[in-house]
C-alpha cells in the first residue's frame, strides 16, 4: 500500500470511529431519555427508527472499510487477470 492509499484509509477509519462514537452518545441519550420519561407507562422504544437507520449505515461502512478494503480488491483483480490469461497454442 502506498502513502496516499494509507492516508486515505486512515482518514476513513477516523471518520468511521467518529461516527461510532456519536452513535453511542446519541443512542445513550435516547435510551436514558426513554427510561426516565416513559418509565412504567409505555414499553415501546421511541427513537428506534433513527437508531436503526444509523446502525445500518454504520454496518455498511464497516463492511466496506474492514472486509472490502483495497487489499481485497487487488487480490480479486489479480485472480481475475489470471483467469483471463489463456495459453497460446502454436
For the chain, what are the domain ranges? 15-66
HSE-up of 20 (CA within 13 Å, CB side)?
A: 10
More confident residue, 85 or 23: 23
CB 44 within 8 A of CB 35: no
Whether 86 has a pLDDT exceeding 70, the answer reads: no
**pLDDT, mean over the chain:** 82
pLDDT tens digits, one per residue of 24-47: 999 999 888 888 877 766 666 677
pLDDT value of residue 61:
92
Whether 3 has a pLDDT exceeding 90, the answer reads: no
Amino acid at each position: 500500500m502506498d502513502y496516499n492509499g494509507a492516508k486515505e484509509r486512515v482518514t476513513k477509519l477516523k471518520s468511521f470511529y467518529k461516527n461510532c462514537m456519536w452513535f453511542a452518545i446519541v443512542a445513550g441519550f435516547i435510551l436514558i431519555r426513554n427510561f426516565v420519561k416513559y418509565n412504567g407507562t409505555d414499553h415501546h422504544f421511541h427513537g428506534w427508527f433513527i437508531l436503526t437507520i444509523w446502525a445500518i449505515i454504520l454496518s455498511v461502512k464497516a463492511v466496506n472499510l474492514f472486509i472490502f478494503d483495497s487489499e481485497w480488491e487487488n487480490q480479486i483483480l489479480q485472480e481475475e487477470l489470471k483467469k483471463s490469461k489463456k495459453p497460446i497454442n502454436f
